[in-house]
Structure 1
Amino acid sequence: MTISPPDLELVRSLEERALNAWPALKTALSGGWQLRLAEGYTKRANSANPLRPSVAFAETLAVVENFYTRHQLAPIFRITPLAPADAGQLLAQAGYQMIDPTQVMTAPLAAGDWPAHDVLIEATASADWSEGFAQANDLSALARPAHERILAAITMPTAFATLTVAGQAVAYGLAVAENGMVGLFDIVVAPAARRGGAATRLLTALLHWGQAQGASSAYLQVHESNHAAVSLYRKLGFTTQYQYHYWVRP
């Protein structure tokens, strides 16, 4: 089976939206790469990301390693279809290993019945949302300050969703709208409430919110190993546009 190469302009537009939706606390640009720092919380916010590479990757490799070493973090490369073709080979030769293959999926938003009466949507992360998300996602106390600072740094319209069942908050999620699309992030269901339809109800509420912001399509990022989530997203109409992965040193 022949797989068509991804549309690089679509990839670039989705990458730019996702970088805005999940901002780093500090950034630097070098040779068409965005170098991101967020106190070590999440690889997305603490990695080198290609946008429009303009120098040989060997040069980028040296710059990135020096940058993250100076900031006392391990260098991480997030390799998307925008990266130079030889990036993977050179990273492997330098002792890096590829981890966390991730799918970027999109779906059109069609008008329909979007039940949301049991989902609270807030424009900012309340104390209850932050506490509930931390517990449902088993977020450590050390990581919470950086997580909350990242959320506070988002500059696009946001929706923080909480699904309540029988008076108990059981699922949390974040949506970020930008230029006709809505991105879904931080989707988590408390362990005791999983496989009961909570994720679907939460997601449909966030997609409805996105439509109200003028979005005609949605996007998300999901680890390939999360088979349950990939299956759910496909049922909701999402299809894979491209993949990315991280390269780290053991």
Structure 2
Amino acid sequence: MVDLPSVRRLEAVGFRAWPASTVLYDGSWLIRLTAGHSSKRLNSINPLDPSDSRDIAIRLEKAARRFAEHDRPLTVRQTPLTPPQLIAYMDGEGWTGFSDSLVLERDLAQGELGEGMDHLPIKDLGRFVDARIQIGKEDPATKPALTEIITAIKPECGLFLFEDRDIGPTAVSLVVHDNDLAGIMQFSVAESVRRQGVGRALLDASLRWARLRGARKAWLQVEAANEAAIALYRKAGFVEVYRYLYRTPRV
């Protein structure tokens, strides 16, 4: 049984940890749009109340116009908070589902996090963004948008970067400390150093910093298809809280 209060809280901190440039409400449907970045999390409808199911077709049509203005496809992020009637409507209209993802959480008071604080956050945002783009093999043209998103994060952030003298950046992690919770964002390890303990070392360093800042729990989001990452997180003590996926109209 999914704990809806926990879902609501993690959804709220997730929105703060990865802020969209435009935020609109239609009832309890949160519409997030970001013209400068194509991230699904930044460009989706996020229903927040399972009972808010009035005028579904009309509201989706209205939202579609807003998405078109931002040159984005109409997308609903389906979570345990999505009204069953909306899910039934999308099913009936043949909407496509993709990017099935898990939200995981762990208690920072339990378990070991390695020894010492051998890696501290860096202050150079540009260097962090360059490393994230290089490791993720993303388009360098996304640098301004990614920089703007991270700059807009209001809670305290820790930018973690692992580097190798010969091959350059090897791993990055963005930790967002929000009251007693810490979100692990933008976690990425270079293919050339995977399965060598780099990911676990980065995760431990990120969690140690979060715990020292006062966080009691850590959370993260990971696609269900990323089996290697899920195995790493579960080994580190993370457990599943809920799942979500994105849905778009049939073309």
Q: Does 1:129 align with 2:125?
A: no
Tell me, yes or no, if structure 1 residue 45 matches structure 2 residue 58.
Answer: no
Give me the whole-angstrom Cα distance separating, in 2, the residues matched to 1:119 and 1:165.
Answer: 13
Gaps of 5+ in 2: none
**Unmatched tracts of structure 1, length 5 or more:** none
**In structure 2, C-alpha distance between the alignment counterparts of 1:225 and 1:94, rounded to whole Å:** 26
**Distance in 2 (alpha carbons) for counterparts of 1:59 and 1:200:** 47
Distance 1:163 1:10 in 2: 32
Q: 2:192, 2:74 → 1: CA distance?
A: 36
Q: 2:25 aligns with which of 29, 42, 50?
A: 29
**Cα deviation code 1:41-94 (max 9, x no counterpart):** 210001111223634233432232222123322111101111101222212333
By how many angstroms is 1:113 displaced? 5.2
Please provide the CA RMSD for this pair: 1.9
> Among the aligned pairs, what percent are the same residue?
31
Matching residue of 2:176: 176
Deviations 1:135-156 (A, max 9, x none): 0001102322211111111000
Q: Counterparts of 1:218 and 1:227 in 2: how far apart (Å)? A: 20
- The 8 Å contact of residues 177 and 213 in structure 1, kept in 2 or not, is answered as yes
Aligned counterparts of 1:55 and 1:21: Cα–Cα separation in 2: 27
**Secondary structure of the residue that 1:152 maps to in structure 2?**
helix
Q: CA deviation at 1:118?
A: 4.7
User: Which secondary structure state, in structure 2, belongs to the residue aligned with residue 163 of structure 1?
Assistant: strand
Please list the CA deviations of residues 10-53 of structure 1 after superposition, one character each: whole Å capped at 9, or x if unmatched. 10000000000000011111111111111242100011112236
Q: SS at 1:83's partner residue?
A: coil
Taking the aligned partners of 2:102 and 2:86, their CA distance within structure 1 comes to: 19
The count of residues paired between Structure 1 and Structure 2 equals 245
Deviation at 1:133, TM superposition (A): 1.1
In 1, Cα distance between the equivalents of 2:235 and 2:106?
11
Give a deviation string over 1:121-167, Cα, whole Å, max 9, x none.
13x55222111111000110232221111111100000110123457
Q: Offset of 1:97 from its aligned partner?
A: 0.2
- Report which stretch shifted further, 59-68 or 72-81: 59-68
Return the TM-score normalized by structure 2: 0.91
Distance 2:153 2:11 in 1: 15
SS in 2 for 1:142: helix
Higher deviation after alignment, 89-98 or 18-27: 89-98
| TM-score (norm: length of structure 1) | 0.91
Give me the whole-angstrom Cα distance separating, in 1, the residues matched to 2:160 and 2:106. 20
Query: Contact 1:41–1:143 (CA<8 Å) still a contact in 2?
Result: no
Structure 1 match to 2:12:
16
